[in-house]
Amino acid sequence: MKKLLLLTLLYLSLFPILTIKINANSFNMEPGYTLDASSLEWRLWGYRPNVWRMNFNFEKLEGSWAEYANIPINIPGSVQLALKNANIIEDWNMGVNSTKIEWIENRHWLIGAKIPSEKLSAQENEKVIIEFLGLDYKGIVMVNGQEAGKFDNMFIPHRFDITPFIKENNNNIVLIFECPPENLGQIGWTSKITEWKSRFNYGWDWMPRIVQTGIWDKVFFHKIKDNQPLFNNLKVFTEANKSKNIGKLSISLELNNTALRKHLQISLTSTDGKVVFEDSFSTDQLEFNKVWDDLKIERWWPNELGPQNLYNLHVNLIDENRNLLQQTTKRIGFRHVEWTKSQNAPIDAEPWICNINSQPIFLQGINWTPIRPNFADLQFDDYAKLLHLYKDLGINTIRIWGGGFPEKEWLYDLCDELGILIWQDFPLSSSGLENYPPEDLKAVHEMTQIVNHYVKRLHHHASLLLWCGGNELYELGDTAPVTHKHIMIKSIKEVLMLQDPTRRFLTGSPSGPNIYGNLNNFGTGKNWDVHGPWDLPYTETDRTMSAVKEYWDRDDAMFRSEVGVPGAMSAETMNKYKGQFQLLPASMENPLWRSVSWWIQWEEYLKSGRSVDNLNEYIEWSQNRQMEGLVLALKKSKERFPTCGGFIIWMGHDSYPCTINTSLIDFEGNPKPVVDELSKIWKDNSYLKKYLRE
């Protein structure tokens, strides 16, 4: 295992992600500058698989046999939205239109653009690199009709040296996206799923099948000299005194040979420009490490507990004439994190009380799923709207669920600003029929690459609280949550011990001896972090709120990272997206409800004696049921603090106009009625006063 880990780290060290001076508004590609490729005019072509090999003209960017040709596409962007904007497909959110676009998966899609020739051709001792921060999912990169490289894995960036393929003029680039895997959906066998593409797109209990293809994150052209002085692998770790506004900053980076005998200028400033320190160092070794103690800073606090003080760390490489060779800036915060045991926890139990700056807090919030299935097309405002809403409601934590994707950088920046702590899953998830992670060495190696990238990209964020192996990963037979004895989980842990030893690592969600907490195992001390229930916990003999109250009165779980109760969305939103279908009956007989059918409760509703013909009555019944169940669950759990350390609701928001599921916020961003009542509990900090008295 150690040999595998070392080989992985060596492999990654050969492909550093460079941060160099950006001049994204200009085609002037001077050495050391970067071009943001979103400024180019990108086009899309669709072929039956491999037909492009016989027909596409890479010189002219033409394809006479293409079924769909020369369609404008934004980068980042999805094939799906480009086709919708061109009126080739209908809105997949209407009715059951999602079933009409599954053919897109059975095509090869070419996304190409002309690239500027002026000053792009590499001179002697220069090279041109193209960097893709997110490609979904597998294919080939062609530059001027020649294969420059292949990509496979949407969770890591891809970089290619395209210098040998660049001409003096008439340059172009084309990405060929091959057919995605057939099925990575909710029902299957986790141990067999080794294609690294987001799984929720294949259908989940809150999503139909909408399998995105496209460029989901930014694309850059870098032009650099072979002997250009550079640093890379910058690591930034912060710590704060638990009770004082005193901080510690640790920096390490690696330099290439030509960066020796230069100078590093390092400074830390507050967001309003106040200088905390400025330092300069000669670069006389290939590795640089420095620690600053006793910095006078203001600490970063979670939402509702204090301000989110942030600082800009500037790292510049300059030569003897003070010419700027490279620069990068990271926004950081200082906070102290400590985990302590829950009150009355068994001696062998993991700690589930999170203390920030010596303040014990109840971790409360939502499970975060992708905002849209075509997440390549998301914009900053999509994130800002949701995250500001969550902040205003009083949450302090989101769990980024393992069936999604690494998320846009906007999310992490906004969470830093808003005081929302992040529980970050790696991209592994349950599969219903079998939930045991893959064991083959190739998959393990690929996962260590993913973990390395996640850490490298995210470790400096003040909001990042912990790492988690994935969602609902269990031993064979679903006997218990998986442990670090599993080869893939062990490998993840080993990488984190090397790359980010400052943060907690959980093997999965849930974790501990039990998967679920229930009446049969309450009081055993074995309910650490558990999942469920996702509905009202009735018993076979009692289907009333008395049974629900008894369940939460007896609950002894130390943490609950998934709890939900289904509630219908509004009649107004249903009518907007119903398409040609009638809204009643709200049952499996109706294709509109059958398309995402996990949470239909029509039979239970009918047993209550209510009207079969009144949609508003059904919606009111459903929403009241969600409100009553979730409010009771959250209130009882928070009142148990510090016996219970947190409560994260499944789930936050809809990615699709699902008629009924466990979300709190519908597809258009409208909170369901339960949200107002939850917010009152989220904002109630009297639990802290009670804790201090005790």
Share of the chain above pLDDT 70, in %: 94
Residue 595 is assigned to a structural domain of this protein: no
- In the chain, DSSP finds a helix count (H) and a strand count (E) of 14, 35
Last-in-domain residue among 179, 196, 225: 225
Average pLDDT over residues 423-443: 97
Residues 522 and 663 in one domain: yes
Residue 688 confidence (pLDDT): 80
Share of the chain above pLDDT 90, in %: 90
- Number of structural domains in the chain: 3
Q: Looking at residue 318, which CATH number applies to its domain?
A: 2.60.40.10
Q: Looking at residue 689, which CATH number applies to its domain?
A: 3.20.20.80
Within 10 angstroms of residue 575's Cβ, the number of other Cβ atoms is 10
User: Which of 133, 158, 135, 136 lies closest to 148 in space, CA to CA?
Assistant: 158
Residues 568 and 683 in one domain: yes
Strands of the sheet with 559-563, listed across from one edge: 504-506, 464-468, 421-425, 397-400, 363-368, 646-649, 559-563, 529-531
Question: Could you list the residue range(s) of the whole structural domain that residue 367 is in?
Answer: 360-578+613-693
Residue 510 confidence (pLDDT): 98
Tens-digit pLDDT profile for residues 316-368: 999 999 999 999 999 999 999 999 999 999 999 999 999 999 999 999 999 99
Residue 599 is assigned to a structural domain of this protein: no
Give me the torsion for CA of 472, 638, 423, 426, rounded to 10°. Answer: 0
Q: Looking at residue 107, which CATH number applies to its domain?
A: 2.60.120.260
Residue 71 is assigned to a structural domain of this protein: yes
In b/e form, how buried is each residue of 602-611, taking b as 16+ CB within 10 angstroms? beebeeeeee
Comparison of pLDDT for 30 and 415, the residue scoring more: 415
Residue 50 is assigned to a structural domain of this protein: yes
- Lookup: tokens for 50: 């491999």
Tens-digit pLDDT profile for residues 540-566: 999 999 999 999 999 999 999 999 999
Residues 393 and 531 in one domain: yes
Last-in-domain residue among 332, 349, 381: 332
Residues 163 and 251 in one domain: no
Residue 47 is assigned to a structural domain of this protein: yes
